[in-house]
Amino acid sequence: MAQKTGIPKGTRDFGPIEMERRNYIFSTITQVYQRYGFKQIETPAMENLTTLLGKYGEEGDKLLFKILNSGDFLSKIPQPSQDLDSVKMAPFIAEKGLRYDLTVPFARFVVQHQNELNFPFKRFQIQPVWRADRPQKGRYREFYQCDSDIIGSTSLLNEAELVHIIDDVFIALNIPVVIRINNRKILAGIAEKMGASDKLIELTVLLDKIDKIGITKVMEEVEALGLTNESLTLLTEVHKLSGLSIVEKLGSLERLIGTTTEGEKGIAELRELFDYLQEMEIENEIAIDLTLARGLNYYTGAIFEVVSKEVQMGSICGGGRYDDLTGIFGLNNMSGVGISFGADRIYDVLIEMDGFGSTTNQSTKVLLINFGKKESKIALKLAEILRKNGISTEVFPEDAKLKKQMNYADKNNIPYVIMAGADEIAKQVYQLKNMTTGEQFQLNQNDLITTLQ
Amino acid sequence: MAQKTGIPKGTRDFGPIEMERRNYIFSTITQVYQRYGFKQIETPAMENLTTLLGKYGEEGDKLLFKILNSGDFLSKIPQPSQDLDSVKMAPFIAEKGLRYDLTVPFARFVVQHQNELNFPFKRFQIQPVWRADRPQKGRYREFYQCDSDIIGSTSLLNEAELVHIIDDVFIALNIPVVIRINNRKILAGIAEKMGASDKLIELTVLLDKIDKIGITKVMEEVEALGLTNESLTLLTEVHKLSGLSIVEKLGSLERLIGTTTEGEKGIAELRELFDYLQEMEIENEIAIDLTLARGLNYYTGAIFEVVSKEVQMGSICGGGRYDDLTGIFGLNNMSGVGISFGADRIYDVLIEMDGFGSTTNQSTKVLLINFGKKESKIALKLAEILRKNGISTEVFPEDAKLKKQMNYADKNNIPYVIMAGADEIAKQVYQLKNMTTGEQFQLNQNDLITTLQ
């Protein structure tokens, strides 16, 4: 009986056209990264679960795909086992998991290979990650991240260059974007001013939700945290800044939280970053977004997020600075800053914008019609010569009816067809058909090569 | 406490230099595939275990990495569970597995997408696969395969083109190889002549072992299968052909097994294939190897295997024809033929041959020295201009000591360094240092660009 075909939910097959488009995105990002001197690395799909667990919060731990130990995996379960539920049993039967992002494996890589690396180390990495998330539009269980990070330098020049990289990539892809910037220290300054430094994480999560649920709803939740009325006023004032220019925002922040330790640092960092950015030609819109927190607790300085101006798709690139990512693996004082492009969402944005156009065309240039065994040997020979001249060539493998072979060229968007039957071979002149215009030419071998090149 | 860093055994990190070399191998293979009109696809890392199980033999099933079901995986175990050992329990707690090769996922892909594909369909696929094999030299638990297959055509032109692809790839990589060719039908003819058609698989496995354990040992094992003396003589005679030329081999085979149904077909197929190959310019050595079986039961016609002439590494490319690969998924009469390059072993061969040379160099072209905040703004601006002119440029992010910055350029093989201090900026003339020769030049911006391009 035939087996049902199908793939795990949340995963996808990519056919030839999708691959051309995806490769276009990957190579665009790769070229920009290389122009800035970033070097590529790759890490294994599987990491030890000790490396991954506890790095993404409780929710993240649940979303890790775990690999069942090979062989007699039950033998490591302590007896009696009746009291073990799934959560308690998992560590005994699964020691490895699929990577959840590229940042934690990178931190592990840096610590493990610290003696081979020259710091500051600028790496990029383009690989799939896996999350057992509930699949929905634009959210997959297997998707690619395209990360770059500079580790071992606290200079804000790095932040400036990353913003420039973001700008370059989206100019190259022809996607107008807004690059939103914030700084974790500003958020900390606000919390400090509110006398709620211990509630920074909760506040951050709530600020991040303003876009989704509105300021009123957020204020209610903030109130529930038990903050004073004064504190609530500060939050409203911060939110009111959203319409202002960058210079005005920085000025108002100075007034509101400039006296707090963290706030002062955050404002100074933002000022320096914008000072650098002013020297550069950034074409896309840049905005300070004080509600931007990205829910990631490891950011300690700059926070970035990029959205398309034309297509509603959520964040298509994001990142920030983390002062202590490698600390958990025993390497302290390694500040890093990085960004990550979401290739799958960028793909979806380009589809909605009709943005792939004719940019992607790597298909076969010419098909040689097969007229039978004897003629096909000549075709093989001719194909060899064309390929040596850099022309992507196919020989139809069967001497099928001409119509079927023409149909194959048509469906595969092959622009030219060569007919080399007994007559043509005798005369050493080949018939070339332009499949778009229908024109036919009689050409000798050299002219054939010139025309097709 | 700091966590130990490490990765699962049999997996590897790839640093910048390894990545450059690996990308060189992948892009060489990709370019050749595209020149022959193959189209790229990708399939998910995870497949349903129903897709994978039973396709690689009992041993293969054991080597599959299984993914533990998400959530409360214990809830699907039938009660009472005491009688379940690891093998019996696995299906209840793991429904997905990591792909073991690219061939079975491709067969699944073809059946699932048959209505979107134009046959014959020529695809290539370059992705990692995972096997829970015992790691040893040259054998990893995560490694890349680079497959191409033509499906939906029985023409032997396809075999000829695949041999040509193999030749092109190893010429491009500068690795002299022997391309060994056999045909499963010849093996079947031998078994038929021996009156042991029912023992074809055992015979195949034994023939495959001649290289490793020698003909005497193999003959003992064949004898143990309970075959007549006459049969054993045939096997010895087949083995004696190993020194002969292709034409002589085909002649002798005709005499030995030309009267068997399968043998006759196999010889005719080999003759036709060599007929095509003679028309082409194949530079590498081609040999008929009658012991070649590759242990894979799904091959039904041609069998290929490639070994390096200079480095002992085992098979670095292999493949063959399979008449019924998609049958298990419900699509019959889809004959296919394909090859697979083993990128990891090719990497190892190139390392031993010192074959990467200077072919790979994508590193930064020039480093701009950082003399402090004010100067670094000019450096950022200059870097922007250089990058726009296609020059891969870095700005050292910190105003560290000159020696440290020079050291960074040196260790990262950056060939040029630009010094733009207060003096240079005032004069609009920059100092360019060639790191190899030590020469220094005073150049204005335009000359700088021209020199670096």
* Chain B partners within 8 Å of A14 (Cβ): 41-43
Asked if the Cβ–Cβ distance from A14 to B98 is below 8 Å, we say no
pLDDT at A373 over 70: yes
Q: How far apart are CA A135 and CA A131, in angstroms?
A: 10
* Chain B partners within 8 Å of A7 (Cβ): 43-44, 46-48, 108, 112
What are the helix (H) ranges across A94-199? 103-112, 157-172, 184-193
pLDDT of residue A207: 78
Q: How far apart are CA B329 and CA A18, in angstroms?
A: 24
Question: Is A171 in CB contact (< 8 Å) with chain B?
Answer: no
pLDDT of residue A139: 86
Q: Is B280 helix (H, G, I), strand (E, B) or coil?
A: coil
* Chain B partners within 8 Å of A131 (Cβ): none
Rg for chain A (alpha carbons), in Å?
29
Question: Is B376 in CB contact (< 8 Å) with chain A?
Answer: yes
Cβ B182 vs Cβ B253: under 8 Å: no
* Chain A partners within 8 Å of B4 (Cβ): 50
State both tokens at B3: 């966590």
Q: How far apart are CA B143 and CA A44, in angstroms?
A: 10
pTM for the model stands at 0.94
Asked if the Cβ–Cβ distance from A7 to B164 is below 8 Å, we say no
Written as tens digits, the pLDDT of chain B (453 aa) is 467 789 999 999 999 999 999 999 999 999 999 999 999 999 999 999 999 998 888 889 999 999 999 988 988 888 877 778 888 889 999 999 999 999 999 999 999 999 999 999 999 999 999 999 998 887 899 999 999 999 999 999 999 999 999 999 999 999 999 999 999 999 999 999 988 888 888 887 787 787 788 888 888 888 888 888 888 888 888 888 888 999 999 999 999 999 999 999 999 999 999 999 998 999 999 999 988 887 656 789 999 999 999 999 889 999 999 988 898 899 998 999 999 999 999 999 999 999 987 644 558 999 999 999 999 999 999 999 999 999 999 999 999 999 999 999 999 999 999 998 888 888 889 999 999 999 999 999 999 999 998
pLDDT at A13 over 50: yes
pLDDT at A62 over 60: yes
Q: How far apart are CA A291 and CA A210, in angstroms?
A: 7
pLDDT of residue B296: 59
The chain A residue lying nearest B87, using CA atoms, is A72
Q: Is A165 helix (H, G, I), strand (E, B) or coil?
A: helix
State both tokens at A440: 């036919």
Question: Is B108 in CB contact (< 8 Å) with chain A?
Answer: yes
The amino acid present at A440, given as its one-letter code, is: Q
A358 pLDDT band, cuts 50/70/90, is: low
The chain B residue lying nearest A328, using CA atoms, is B2
Task: State the smallest CA–CA distance between residue A3 and chain B in angstroms.
Answer: 5
* ipTM of the complex, rounded to two decimals: 0.93
Q: What is the dihedral of CA B342, B347, B352, B357, to 10 degrees?
A: 140
pLDDT of residue A271: 96
Q: How far apart are CA B218 and CA B62, in angstroms?
A: 27
Asked if the Cβ–Cβ distance from A158 to B397 is below 8 Å, we say yes
Rg for chain B (alpha carbons), in Å?
29
State the DSSP string of A187-212: HHHHHHHTT-GGGHHHHHHHHHTHHH
Residue B55 CA to its chain's centroid (Å): 20
CB contacts < 8 A, A to B, total 298
Q: How far apart are CA B409 and CA B405, in angstroms?
A: 7
Asked if the Cβ–Cβ distance from B67 to A62 is below 8 Å, we say no
Asked if the Cβ–Cβ distance from A363 to B39 is below 8 Å, we say yes
Report strand pairing: A285-288 vs A177-183. Answer: parallel
State both tokens at B43: 């399939």
* Structure confidence by residue, pLDDT tens digits, A66-104: 999 998 998 888 887 777 888 888 999 999 999 999 999
Question: Is A37 in CB contact (< 8 Å) with chain B?
Answer: yes
Task: State the smallest CA–CA distance between residue B218 and chain A in angstroms.
Answer: 31
State the DSSP string of A52-83: HTTSSHHHHHHTPPEEPPSS-GGGGSPSS-TT
Give B 143-162 residues with CB within 8 A of chain A: 150, 153-155, 157-158, 160-161
Asked if the Cβ–Cβ distance from B46 to A86 is below 8 Å, we say no
Q: How far apart are CA A55 and CA B46, in angstroms?
A: 23
- The residues, any chain, with a CB within 8 Å of residue B186's CB and separated by 6 or more, are B253, B257, B262, B263, B266, B267, B270, B290
Give helix then strand counts, H and E, for chain A: 18, 16
The chain A residue lying nearest B374, using CA atoms, is A276
pLDDT of residue A295: 64
Give B 172-211 residues with CB within 8 A of chain A: none
Asked if the Cβ–Cβ distance from A384 to B161 is below 8 Å, we say no
State both tokens at B1: 């406490």
Question: Is B83 in CB contact (< 8 Å) with chain A?
Answer: no
pLDDT at A360 over 50: no
Asked if the Cβ–Cβ distance from A45 to B128 is below 8 Å, we say yes
Q: Determine phi and psi for A142, rounding to 5 degrees.
A: -130, 120
Q: How far apart are CA B64 and CA A352, in angstroms?
A: 39
pLDDT at A58 over 90: no
Task: State the smallest CA–CA distance between residue B364 and chain A in angstroms.
Answer: 5
* Chain B partners within 8 Å of A120 (Cβ): 397-398, 408
Q: Which helix (H) or strand (E) holds A425?
A: helix A422-427
State both tokens at A373: 């065994």
The chain B residue lying nearest A41, using CA atoms, is B15
Which residue ranges form the domains of chain A, and what is each CATH number?
Answer: 176-309 (3.30.930.10), 363-452 (3.40.50.800)
**Adjacency order of strands within the sheet including A96-98:** A46-48, A96-98, A66-67, B66-67, B96-98, B46-48
* Chain B partners within 8 Å of A22 (Cβ): 42
B188 or A216, greater pLDDT: B188
The chain A residue lying nearest B2, using CA atoms, is A330
Q: Which helix (H) or strand (E) holds B67?
A: strand B66-67
Question: Is B377 in CB contact (< 8 Å) with chain A?
Answer: yes
Return the number of other C-beta atoms located less than 10 Å from residue A265's C-beta: 16
Report strand pairing: B315-322 vs B302-308. Answer: antiparallel
Longest CA–CA separation in chain B, Å: 96
Question: Is B122 in CB contact (< 8 Å) with chain A?
Answer: yes
Question: Is A66 in CB contact (< 8 Å) with chain B?
Answer: yes
Q: How far apart are CA A387 and CA A392, in angstroms?
A: 6
Task: State the smallest CA–CA distance between residue A280 and chain B in angstroms.
Answer: 6
Question: Is A47 in CB contact (< 8 Å) with chain B?
Answer: yes
Q: Which residue, among A348, A369, A352, A357, has the nearest Cα to A424 in the 3D structure?
A: A369
Q: How far apart are CA B338 and CA A51, in angstroms?
A: 39
Cα distances from B88 to residues A80, B84, B307, in angstroms, run: 19, 5, 40
State both tokens at B153: 């055509």
**Adjacency order of strands within the sheet including A177-183:** A39-40, A121-130, A142-151, A336-342, A315-322, A302-308, A177-183, A285-288
State both tokens at B46: 């995870």
Report strand pairing: B39-40 vs B121-130. Answer: parallel
* Chain B partners within 8 Å of A77 (Cβ): none
Q: Which residue, among A423, A31, A62, A23, has the nearest Cα to B390 in the 3D structure?
A: A31
Q: How far apart are CA A111 and CA A154, in angstroms?
A: 18
* Structure confidence by residue, pLDDT tens digits, A166-204: 999 999 999 999 999 999 999 999 999 988 888 888 887
Question: Is A406 in CB contact (< 8 Å) with chain B?
Answer: no
Residue B135: asked if its preceding bond is cis (omega within 30°), the reply is: no
Asked if the Cβ–Cβ distance from B398 to A94 is below 8 Å, we say no
Task: State the smallest CA–CA distance between residue B27 and chain A in angstroms.
Answer: 12
Q: Which residue, among A62, A97, A10, has the nearest Cα to B70 in the 3D structure?
A: A62
Cα distances from A29 to residues A24, A294, B42, in angstroms, run: 9, 22, 19
* Chain B partners within 8 Å of A155 (Cβ): 397-398
* DSSP tag of B14: B
Q: Which residue, among B106, B123, B69, has the nearest Cα to B329 in the 3D structure?
A: B106
State both tokens at B447: 């000359």
State both tokens at B320: 């063959």
State both tokens at B424: 């240079």
Question: Is A40 in CB contact (< 8 Å) with chain B?
Answer: yes
A223 pLDDT band, cuts 50/70/90, is: confident
Cα distances from A16 to residues A363, B37, B125, in angstroms, run: 9, 11, 10
pLDDT of residue B360: 47
The amino acid present at A183, given as its one-letter code, is: N
* Chain A partners within 8 Å of B35 (Cβ): 387, 390-393
Q: At what angle do helices B373-388 and B445-452 cross, to 10 degrees?
A: 50
Cβ A183 vs Cβ A303: under 8 Å: yes
Q: Which residues pair with A135 in a beta bridge?
A: none
* Chain A partners within 8 Å of B46 (Cβ): 7-8, 11, 65, 130, 141-142
A27 pLDDT band, cuts 50/70/90, is: very high
Cβ B317 vs Cβ B305: under 8 Å: yes
State both tokens at B181: 């060719």
**Average pLDDT, rounded, for chain A:** 91
Cβ A428 vs Cβ A445: under 8 Å: yes
Q: Which residues pair with B418 in a beta bridge?
A: B368, B432
